[in-house]
Amino acid sequence: MRAVAKNEFEKNFFKLMNNAVFGKTMENIRKRVTVKLMSKYDGRYGVEAQISKPNFHSSSIFNENLVAIQLNKTDILMNKPIYVGLVVLDLSKTLMYDFHYNYIRQMYKDNCKLLYTDTDSFIYAVKCDDFNEDMKKNIHKFDTSNYPADNVFNMPCVNKKVVGLMKDECNGQILTEFVGLRSKMYSTRVNNQDSMKKIKGIKASVVKKTIEFNDYLDCLRNSRIQSREQYAIRSKLHKVETIRQRKIALSPYDDKRFLQDNTIDTIAWGHYQILQNGKEKRVRFKEDPTIHLMYKWKFAHHEARCGKWEQVARDRQRFRRRILQINEIILPVIVKKLKEM
């Protein structure tokens, strides 16, 4: 249906329909609750009887005549096809790994560098004679339906909405610059003009009006955290309010990856290169107190700001011991088991 969609609404509509079906296949039934609205305290069906039940969870008082009682489920019927969702996730990962290792890495070897990856996308820096010619030779791996019909690369517009194929999000234009700070926080330039700015948790209007590509560069090069103010609507106990909040918009500290010495390259936690000569390989930064925000393992933001450096130091030591334990104990066991298979 998406392949024959005529406008953006229809494209998003059928996409969300697919997502909804997938979400229901892996729905966690255990998280379902029962909510009862009560207007009296005494009696068999009053508040007193409900809060006395062993499956009572919490209550919310709206006013003197209305209370919401939340109860956990006493019976759970596991009737969702979790195996279907599992297969969908595994197939998507297989397609991604196959494209990266069996196509890109096989074709370009060390001449390609993976800059960023998400659930269903890659951003590469590739050194080659003509990447578009390589695409045409392997056109069965790409959906090029978004290319202009008269594109300068003579790229055929084929494989529209074919499942499992990769699509050029730049529509055939040249991606000239990229800055990736951390997960869900990156920006690109196409033909030296701002193209895409992504920051999870910050409203799109705030990103569009107050953040430029150079802000990402400044954050990366100078390790400078940038904050922005935004307004949001919140509802608590059915009381709707408009709030103003100040949130960190750009941060160079990626706690999901390990930053290598004196570079902007990262490796995964547990990577063998983290250990050097049997000891932990330390990350070196400028003398900046905000370094304590680098890893969020248990580095509480308020503790760092309040000067509780001893607690932060203990948390860092605990985190290092955990990494050493993973590398020195768990990984050898896994390798041994794999060899026995």
Tokens of 60: 């919310």
223-238 pLDDT tens trace: 899 999 999 999 987 8
Say yes or no to pLDDT of 327 above 80.
no
The pLDDT of residue 192 is: 79
| CA 282-285-286 angle, 5° bins | 150
- As to burial, measured by CB atoms within 10 angstroms (0-12 exposed, 13-18 middle, 19+ buried), residue 293 is buried
Q: What is the pLDDT of residue 293?
A: 37
In one-letter notation, the amino acid at residue 17 is M
Query: What average pLDDT does the segment 13-19 reach?
Result: 88
User: Token pair for residue 324?
Assistant: 């050493």
Mean pLDDT in residue range 92-119: 94
pLDDT confidence tier of residue 298, bands split at 50, 70 and 90: very low
Spacing of C-alpha 171 from chain mean position: 24
Distance of CA 56 to the CA centre of its chain: 34
pLDDT in tens, 128-162: 999 999 999 999 999 999 999 999 999 999 998 89
Query: Does pLDDT of 201 surpass 90?
Result: yes
Query: Which distant-in-sequence residues (6+ apart) come within 8 Å of 234 by Cβ?
Result: 240, 241, 242, 243
Does position 330 have pLDDT exceeding 80, yes or no?
no
Phi/psi for 8 (5° steps) reads: -65, -35
Given a contact cutoff of 8 angstroms between Cβ atoms, the answer to whether 271 and 260 are in contact is no
Rounded Cα distance, 184 and 216, in Å:
13
- Of the candidates 64, 15, 55, 18, which has an alpha carbon nearest to the alpha carbon of residue 35? 55
The pair of structure tokens assigned to 5 is: 């969609």
82: confidence class by pLDDT, cuts 50, 70, 90:
very high
Helices (H), the chain: 8-25, 47-51, 82-99, 105-108, 131-137, 204-210, 213-222, 301-305, 309-325, 331-340
Percent of the chain with pLDDT over 70: 81
Of all residues in the chain, the percent with pLDDT exceeding 90 is 58
pLDDT surpasses 70 at 310:
no
Q: Which of these ranges, 15-19, 101-105, 219-223, 274-278, has the smallest mean pLDDT?
A: 274-278
Measured distance CA(132)–CA(174) in Å, rounded: 11
| pLDDT over 80 (residue 175) | yes
Name the phi and psi angles at 202, rounded to 5.
-110, 135
The C-alpha R_g of the chain, in whole angstroms, comes to: 26
**Per-residue pLDDT, 278:** 47
CA distance 109 to 126: 10
- Cα–Cα nearest to 291, from 304, 279, 280, 302: 304
Whole-number pLDDT of residue 264: 87
Query: What's the first-to-final CA gap in the chain, in angstroms?
Result: 44
Closest Cα to residue 183, out of 252, 126, 270?
A: 252
Whether the predicted pLDDT of 308 surpasses 80: no
Look at residue 91 in the predicted model and tell me its pLDDT.
Answer: 94
The residue ranking higher by pLDDT, 82 or 4, is: 82
Q: Which residue has the tokens 């019909």?
A: 149
Domain boundaries, given as residue ranges, for the chain: 29-72, 258-340
| Higher per-residue pLDDT: 31 or 308 | 31
The tokens describing 249, both together, are 């918009």
Arithmetic mean of pLDDT over the chain: 84
The answer to whether the CB of 102 falls within 8 A of the CB of 109 is: no
The predicted pLDDT at position 324 comes to 66
In this predicted structure, the answer to whether residue 290 has a pLDDT above a threshold of 50 is: no
Query: Residue 168 above 60 pLDDT?
Result: yes
Q: 225: which 2 tokens?
A: 């955290």
User: The tokens of 187 are what?
Assistant: 């920006």
Tokens 């578009």, residue? 132
135 touches 144 (CB < 8 A): yes
Q: What stretch of H or E contains 249?
A: strand 239-250
- How far is the CA of 333 from the CAs of 40, 193, 329, in angstroms? 60, 50, 7
